[in-house]
């Protein structure tokens, strides 16, 4: 992850949550009271959020000490201690919810991605994400996919050409859409096209695209379509694919399977923050 962008995101999230003050915490605790909190796993899964914990608390107070006990991408078990954080109690309490929300969501994505990779169980086909991410969290969510063993599709509209059905309808054909891109884009830009029929596959191949994505096609259809694609063109399957039917796509020979549910329908992994000790009780 980009550390500079991460700091900027966390600052915005803290400002949103804290506002002018944490009224509850500021009325109870003095600035001089120290304590320690522990992040605990309440479910099995894959951890993701090491830098969130480290950078997040440091933004609130650079004297806070953080010790993350696991690495991103590591498997965690119920009851396992994930991180210890010590410092001013007021700062710990102000930061815990924002940081915990992000760690839970990212760990949930990493866990679901690993489940998808294991379910597919393919030495060739790779699992990747989509642009179906939470606004403002795309960098974090796509990082979590990588921690779970998946790969990233394009990050946004700006870093890859993907000609979809509506582009094709407005342009008039796959050929016209591809030709327009070729005339106006640099030589470093790859072109991906969504296809739904065998005729569109042939048209995309003849247009010289770099990637062909079989959109909302069944395993039977993809098995036939892929025979029409030369080995130099990357293939992708997407749409209508869930964990429940993912295994059926494992032996088709596609290079990638993109799954929107990795980020748009994920359940946060259950993690809690508890008080380890506080100076007032010593």
Q: Is the pLDDT of residue 245 over 60?
A: yes
Name residue, tokens 């005339």.
Answer: 183
Q: How far is 244 from 144, CA to CA, in rounded Å?
A: 21
Name the active-site residue from 26, 51, 165, 215.
215
Question: Would you call 88 a catalytic residue per the annotation?
Answer: no
Is-catalytic flag, 217? no
Q: Is 164 a catalytic residue?
A: yes
CA 44 – CA 148 distance, rounded (Å): 14
The domain limits of the chain are 3-116+267-281, 122-264
Q: How confident is the model at residue 280 (pLDDT cuts 50, 70, 90)?
A: low
> Residue 31's pLDDT is what?
75
Mean pLDDT of the chain: 95
For residue 282, is pLDDT > 50? no
Q: Which of 26, 74, 97, 131 is catalytic?
A: 97
At 1, is the pLDDT very low, low, confident or very high (cuts 50, 70, 90)? confident
Catalytic residue among 132, 138, 176, 190: 132
Please tell me the pTM assigned to this model. Answer: 0.94
Lowest mean pLDDT among 196-210, 214-228, 266-280: 266-280
- Which CATH code, of 3.30.1330.10, 3.30.360.10, 3.90.1170.20, 2.60.120.260, is assigned to 3-116+267-281? 3.90.1170.20
122-264 folds as TIM Barrel (3.20.20)
What are the pLDDT digits (tens) for 49-95?
999 999 999 999 999 999 999 999 999 999 999 999 999 999 999 99
Sign of CA dihedral 239, 241, 246, 249: negative
Angle at 249 between CA 256 and CA 268, to 5 degrees: 70
State the Cα–Cα distance between residues 140 and 144, nearest whole angstrom.
6
The DSSP code for 98 is H
Residue 194 among the catalytic residues: yes
Catalytic residue among 164, 227, 267, 276: 164
Reported confidence tier of residue 107, pLDDT bands at 50, 70, 90: very high
């Amino acid at each position: 992850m980009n550390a500079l962008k991460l700091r900027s995101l966390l600052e915005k999230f803290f400002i949103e949550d804290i506002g002018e003050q944490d009224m509850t915490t500021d009325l109870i605790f003095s600035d001089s009271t120290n304590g320690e909190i522990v992040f605990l796993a309440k479910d099995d899964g894959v951890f993701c959020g090491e830098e969130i914990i480290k950078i997040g608390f440091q933004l609130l107070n650079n004297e806070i000490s953080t010790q993350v006990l696991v690495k991103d991408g590591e498997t965690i078990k119920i009851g396992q201690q994930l991180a210890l954080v010590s410092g001013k109690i007021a700062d710990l309490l102000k930061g815990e919810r924002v940081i915990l929300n992000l760690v839970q969501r990212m760990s949930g994505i990493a866990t679901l991605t690993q489940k998808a990779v294991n379910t597919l169980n393919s030495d060739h086909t790779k699992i990747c994400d989509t642009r179906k991410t939470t606004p403002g969290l795309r960098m974090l969510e796509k990082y979590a996919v990588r921690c779970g063993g998946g790969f990233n599709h394009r990050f946004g509209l700006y870093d890859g050409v993907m000609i979809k059905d509506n582009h094709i309808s407005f342009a008039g054909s796959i050929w016209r859409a591809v030709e327009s891109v070729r005339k106006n884009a640099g030589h470093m830009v790859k072109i991906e096209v969504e296809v739904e029929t065998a005729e569109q596959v042939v048209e995309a191949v003849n247009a010289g695209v770099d990637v062909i994505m079989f959109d909302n096609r069944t395993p039977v259809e993809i098995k036939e379509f892929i025979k029409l694609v030369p080995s130099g063109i990357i293939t992708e399957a997407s749409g209508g694919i869930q964990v429940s039917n993912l295994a059926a796509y494992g032996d088709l020979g596609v290079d990638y399977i993109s799954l929107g549910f990795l980020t748009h329908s994920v359940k946060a992994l259950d993690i809690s923050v508890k008080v380890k000790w506080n100076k007032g009780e010593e």
